[in-house]
Amino acid sequence: MKTAVVGATGMVGRTMIQVLEERKFPVSQLIPAASERSVGKEIIFNGKAVSVVSVMEAVEEKPVFAIFSAGASTSKEWAPAFASNGTVVIDNSSAWRMEKDIPLIVPEINSHVLKKDDRIIANPNCSTIQMVMALAPLHRKYKIRRLVVATYQSVTGTGVKAVDQLENERRGIKGEMAYNYQIDLNCFPHGGSFLSDGYTTEEQKLVDETRKILEDNTIQVTATVVRIPVIGGHSEAVNVEFEKDYNLDDVRFLISQFPGVIVYDNPAEFKYPMPIMAHNRDEVFVGRIRRDLSREKCLNLWIVSDNIRKGAATNAIQIAEYMVSRKLV
């Protein structure tokens, strides 16, 4: 099964290739593609060196899947070219997520909407994926009315340049800046680009994508995105207001039974999720589960996941796995 990875030399692209290998996805030929400056570089896959090709060359190979992590502009330009050749595109950028006829998929939640003729499929934003993984089983039973979200996001969400900035600052080295400000020993309430209403694009994604994935446009969402100097993964403080009252033991059970989610929550033993725990893992961890004592039918959760793994690469590969298992390709 020919599989292209577009953006193969980037942080997420390399992890996608790693996940394909780890999960033994049935790749007959890996086609790593990237920008012209990366053409000719070598990627190791299943112990063998594979040369990076241009995106045009990857299109001409007519792969079964093209898994993108190369930015929205590249996706807008090249995803239709792959799709017109019959390739199934799974795109990790924001380019297609809110298009009406493009499915936005977290396989554990809404894979049922995928169809055989889908040729472009959107992978949600990393912060959205981990949040809805914890919330989906609760929404089905209690119906979510409103979410108040604060994210504490790893610099890996910005990419290699941001990781380099953090590491340079810790070594006292002056280098290229990914952010407007120092990130080490600091945090700033800014992710994405600012919109005219004062929110950012990263915050708006949490609103729009949550509604689309959970298939409920009545859910009210307000979010604040914060970038912090960690590498392991994203963390989120989520306050949930339900239409129905809930039982706390039932909440714990529902979350713990959901595939891919682990409840790690025992304050008496100082057990709660942290980015360092989630690093290089695919699970979503949930802790600090407690009733909001200030308001009826409200719940507080702390949700942590590796934004490069389940938040991007692993979720994309899981979509491909579902398509293969259901004979949709």
Among all residues, which ones are annotated catalytic? 126, 234
Q: What is the DSSP string of 273-299?
A: --HHHHTT---EEEEEEEE-TTSTTEE
Q: In what order do the strands lie in the sheet with 220-227?
A: 220-227, 144-153, 234-242, 298-305, 284-291, 261-263
Burial class (CB in 10 A: 0-12, 13-18, 19+), 211: middle
Measuring CA to CA, how many Å separate 229 from each of 123, 128, 192, 283, 310?
25, 20, 16, 21, 20
Give me 54's structure tokens: 């241009």
Q: Is 14 left (phi over 0), alpha (psi -120 to 50) or beta?
A: alpha
SS3 53: strand
